[in-house]
Amino acid sequence: MNTPFAEALSVALLVAVLLWAVARPFGLAEAVLAVPAAGVAVATGAISPAHALAEAERLGPVVGFLAAVLVLAHFCDVEGLFTACGAWTARWARGRPRRLLTAVFVLASAITAVLSLDATVVLLTPVVLATASRMGIRSRPHVYACAHLSNTASLLLPVSNLTNLLAFTASGLSFTRFAALMALPWLVAVAAEYLVFRRFFAGDLDAPVLDPEPAEAPALPVFALVTVGCTLAGFVVASAAGIDPAWVALAGALVLAGRALLRGRATVRTVIGAASPAFLAFVLALGIVVRAVVDNGLADALRHALPGGTGPAALLGVAALAAVLANLINNLPAVLVLLPLAAPAGPGAVLAVLLGVNIGPNLTYAGSLATLLWRRIVQHRSPDDVTLGEFTRLGLLATPAALLGAVGALWVSLQLVGV
């Protein structure tokens, strides 16, 4: 196959896969088109079988880790962790919208960092909606916070986001060094979002509050909390011992899933469903399609555009390019394309890419798969609470503020912590 045709075909396949993922016609899964598209790329020679296999092998451990974390988060929900969190936020807020926003920011940031952004989108968002409704508070600020923090607050740990797992592997950092370098950017980015939210939603936060229904106080799910705590500790130990963190995530998932199976609160089918095999197939297929685009010219074009060095200006340029690319082709393809180009410059450049692909997607619906999923959940449960125009206006204010602050904080971390 000639190069121009291969380039055009690979780009067309990527665009089709992304449009399908955004629209999901007839409610069909993202993998329904992504898997055949990957097959077409291989069959037509847009990507060689060897390169497709290499990409699948590279993504395999990451996808396995993602499956384990999804199961872990699902059975934390079965144990009642998210219901208890909702009751805690309601009691702490005491009927005050600004206090509820603060509680949601703290809770969503912690859940995103520890249990991944999928837990915040799929499990916490419905809880926040129900909590705001029960308290007689306008839900818009709090629901939008779940969307933004599922992206921004996923900067902290390698386990917080699929993009983090890929960057973690490319950076060569240990689990603890990664967290140490990203702690300050994480705090600064979340704080910037919080300040923008307080100003943007001032009208909602100052609106009169209806008489709230009393919040029940469910029992604290100690077993789930202990399991999650042990899993986090296991990540640190495994990283120091050179063990893939996917094994630790699998152990935590098996503990909670096994407990649910023994208690008759789950079946083997629900455990498999919690791992979302269709989504995992989509991630693998998307990786192969992106690799086809990279092999056919995109890498060369971006290589010239990517700034060199790890000074403040270079880091900002890398992060800005990553943010723009994430909104054009989605953040997962963007990180797959940019990491091999940024890795030779060192961990600082890799982490700058991560800032761009994690914070940048708050600008548009199509920026990340998490935002697309969040939109579907909210529109199904409370369609009047979100609009494209408002989401974009909020993103235009919050995204640059969070990205600028996080890049500056990353440069400080690199000076203080080193790589």
CA dist 162 and 154 (Å) reads 9
Among 78-87, 194-203, 406-415, the least confident range: 78-87
The residue that leads in pLDDT, 419 or 29, is 29
- What's the confidence (pLDDT) of residue 94? 81
pLDDT, position 375: 82
Dihedral, 158, 161, 164, 169 alpha carbons, nearest 10? 70
The pLDDT of residue 145: 95
pLDDT in the model for residue 216:
63
Task: Pick 239 or 385 by higher pLDDT.
Answer: 239
The 10s digit of each residue's pLDDT in 145-201 is 999 999 999 999 988 888 998 899 899 898 899 999 999 999 999 999 999 999 999
Q: What percentage of residues in the chain have a pLDDT greater than 90?
A: 43
Mean of the pLDDT values across residues 95-107?
91
Who wins on pLDDT, 399 or 114?
399
pLDDT confidence band for 409 (50 / 70 / 90): very high
pLDDT(110) > 90: yes
- Res 298 pLDDT > 80: no
Read off the pLDDT of residues 218-239 as tens digits, 9 standing for 90 and up. 777 899 989 988 988 888 888 7
Query: What gap in Å lies between CA 249 and CA 233, rounded to an integer?
Result: 11
The mean pLDDT of the chain is 87
Hey, what long-range contacts does 249-255 have (CB within 8 A, 24 or more apart)?
A: 249/65, 249/68, 249/69, 249/72, 249/159, 250/64, 250/68, 252/68, 252/72, 252/227, 252/228, 253/68, 253/69, 253/71, 253/72, 253/75, 255/227
Would you mind telling me the total number of residues written for the chain in this entry?
419
* CA distances to 135, 168, 318, 339 from 329, in Å: 39, 21, 16, 15
- What pLDDT was estimated at residue 165? 85
Q: Could you tell me what percent of the chain has a pLDDT over 70?
A: 96
For 230, how many CA atoms within 13 A lie in the half-sphere containing its CB? 14
| Neighbouring C-beta atoms of residue 19, cutoff 10 Å | 13
Does the pLDDT of residue 383 top 70, yes or no?
A: no
pLDDT at residue number 281: 92
What was the pLDDT predicted at 306?
83
Q: Which tens digit of pLDDT belongs to each residue from 237-294?
A: 887 787 888 888 899 999 999 999 999 988 999 999 988 898 889 889 988 998 888 8
Residue 215 has pLDDT above 70, yes or no: no
pLDDT band for position 419 (50/70/90)?
low
